[in-house]
Amino acid sequence: MKLKQSIEKTIRPRDTFEGEFELPGDKSVTHRAIMFNAGAEGTAVITNALLGEDCMSTCQCMRALGAQIDIDGTTLCVQGTPRFRTGVNLNCGNSGTTMRLLTGFCAGKNIEAKLFGDESLSSRPMARVAAPLSLLGADVRTTDGHAPVYVSPAPLKGTEVELSVASAQLKSAVLLAGLSAEGRTAVTEPQKTRDHTERLLAAMGADIRTEGRRTEIGRSRLKAVNVRVPADISSAAYFMALGALKGRTLCKNVGLNPTRTGILTAFDRLGVRYSILSRQVSGGEETGDILVEKSDLHAISLTAEDVPSMIDELPLIALLCAFAEGESRISGAGELRVKESDRIRTSAEMIASLGGICIETEDGFFIRGKKKLRGGEVDSYLDHRIAMTAAVGLIASERGGSIRGAECCAVSFPGFFRMLEGGGRAQGGEA
Ligand code: S3P
């Protein structure tokens, strides 16, 4: 991520942490609601959208392609375009979801495009999206396996795609290309990953069906649909963790899509006391209020099959293990090495900076819990999930400390520190 400024944020420890929180909208759902509606017939209103930097990258890319998107607070009005601009440069910023989904989108819409991003995104693997798309006949070239990614128009033919990595981004790229391919396209994933793409495409009238790990899609035209975005469980997770460590928190209207609730599985094993109140279904996604209370944590073991539904929460789960009684092991999480930072290395370093014992393994962590962490100076490595996890660790620590590069929280959670300090609702403005 390109540094506009580097903020060193001081965080003081707290004896208790309590409150009721209205978290910003889900990042994955917001990306998809913007992108898919920009390629649909009609106009859609998206409410409670996340206006973090990643989703704004998607917004700017879809505008560059010709869609009209108006923003009023957290409400977006997206008007699909019947004809996309081609020969465009698309700046995906720090966002892997924008780059990988858009690669499939552009291949499907016969758009000539160059997709590029910041330093972190340019170091992440992109051959993994080019390869499955080329099975459909797409012309996608990477730069030595990385961004910039170049897409050129080519006729697409549906086929069976077997993914070797469990990644919702790759699955979504194939499905978006499959929407325009001749015949039928099927994508099978090694493990079930988040299914927001499948749900939204179905709601927009796509010919799509999923059975287990295999999703099949036929050529379809999409109709715009309004989306009410649930609060992001990945953002709520920091406040849920603070409830478990320091008091009592209630996170409102949180998305409870079962492909995203791995944090609750981890809570069950850690011994976190929580309950889900007022469950509802909104826009095809289940939501509820999550109440978490101070708990005595004990060590856990997580393996590959647990990972996809908690992938973005693993740095935080590793931190909770550092506060738990006993020795925890997390394995099968090698995908963490290719996120916004190498999250196995950066999580282990962040926990060590707080005074905890977290040892890197090739595909995960070994953590010796200490119940109390000293606190200290922590680097965010310009990775939003590391910065927010560090903030939780510092609040729960004995002495507190500071986070270098704290501004990167704005990638997924603008207003994070304001909410942390003031409680309640926050979006927009500084991180
Ligand atoms: C995302 C999928 C996940 C996740 C990312 C968002 C998505 O990545 O880590 O933050 O919206 O599809 P992978 O699918 O590559 O694991």
Given the residues 54, 306, 312, 383, select the one marked as catalytic.
312
Amino acid type, 123: S
Sheet holding 160-162, edge to edge: 160-162, 184-188, 214-218, 208-211
Q: Residue 262, Cα to own-chain centre: how many angstroms?
A: 13
Which of 28, 32, 54, 97 maximizes ligand 1 atoms within 8 Å of its Cβ, making it the mutation to test the pocket?
A: 97
Give the C-alpha separation, 284 to 370, whole Å: 41
pLDDT at 203 over 50: yes
| pLDDT recorded at residue 1 | 44
Containing 102, the helix (H) or strand (E) segment is helix 96-108
Strands, DSSP E only, in 146-284? 146-152, 160-162, 184-188, 208-211, 214-218, 227-228, 247-255, 273-282
Please provide the average confidence, as pLDDT, over all residues in the chain. Answer: 96
CB-side exposure of 259: number of CA atoms within 13 Å? 18
Q: pLDDT digit string (tens) for 108-162?
A: 999 999 999 999 999 999 999 999 999 999 999 999 999 999 999 999 999 999 9
Q: pLDDT digit string (tens) for 48-61?
A: 999 999 999 999 99
Give the C-alpha separation, 140 to 147, whole Å: 11
* Other beta carbons less than 10 A from residue 210's beta carbon: 15
d(CA 70, ligand 1 centre) in Å:
26
> Residue positions in the annotated binding site for 3-phosphoshikimate?
27-28, 32, 167, 169, 312, 339
Cβ < 6 Å from ligand 1: which residues? 28, 31, 97, 167-169, 172, 193-194, 311-312, 335
**Number of residues that make up the chain:** 431
> Residue positions in the annotated binding site for phosphoenolpyruvate?
27, 96, 124, 169, 343, 385
Give the C-alpha separation, 228 to 25, whole Å: 9
Which of 198, 306, 309, 311 maximizes ligand 1 atoms within 8 Å of its Cβ, making it the mutation to test the pocket?
A: 311
Q: pLDDT digit string (tens) for 58-109?
A: 999 999 999 999 999 999 999 988 899 999 999 999 999 999 999 999 999 9
Give 248's strand partners: 18, 293
The residues near 179 (Cβ < 8 Å, ≥ 6 apart) are 108, 201, 206, 217, 219, 220, 222
293 confidence band (pLDDT: 50, 70, 90): very high
| pLDDT recorded at residue 430 | 42
d(CA 78, ligand 1 centre) in Å:
23
> Residue positions in the annotated binding site?
27-28, 32, 96, 124, 167, 169, 312, 339, 343, 385
pLDDT at 427 over 60: no
State whether residue 2 is helix, strand or coil: coil
Q: pLDDT digit string (tens) for 376-398?
A: 999 999 999 999 999 999 999 99
Cβ-based burial of 58 (10 A; exposed 0-12, middle 13-18, buried ≥19): buried
Q: For 412, phi and psi rounded to 5 degrees?
A: -125, -10
- DSSP class of 181: S
Instruction: Calculate what percentage of the chain has a pLDDT beyond 70.
Output: 97
Instruction: Calculate what percentage of the chain has a pLDDT beyond 90.
Output: 94
Which of 120, 169, 343 maximizes ligand 1 atoms within 8 Å of its Cβ, making it the mutation to test the pocket?
A: 169
Output Rg (C-alpha) for the chain, integer angstroms.
Answer: 21
Give the C-alpha separation, 315 to 326, whole Å: 18
d(CA 269, ligand 1 centre) in Å:
24
DSSP 302-347: E-GGGSGGGGGGHHHHHHHHHTSBSEEEE-S-GGGGGSSS-HHHHH
Smallest CA separation from ligand 1 atom 11, residue: 28
Quote the pTM value: 0.96
Nearest to 167 by CA among 201, 148, 198, 192: 192
Give 217's strand partners: 185, 208
Nearest to 310 by CA among 275, 267, 363: 267
- Look up residue 19 and give its two tokens: 């409150």
- DSSP class of 363: T
Q: Is 312 a catalytic residue?
A: yes
Amino acid type, 332: G
Q: For 423, phi and psi rounded to 5 degrees?
A: 75, 170
To the nearest 10°, report the CA torsion of 199, 288, 224, 106: -50
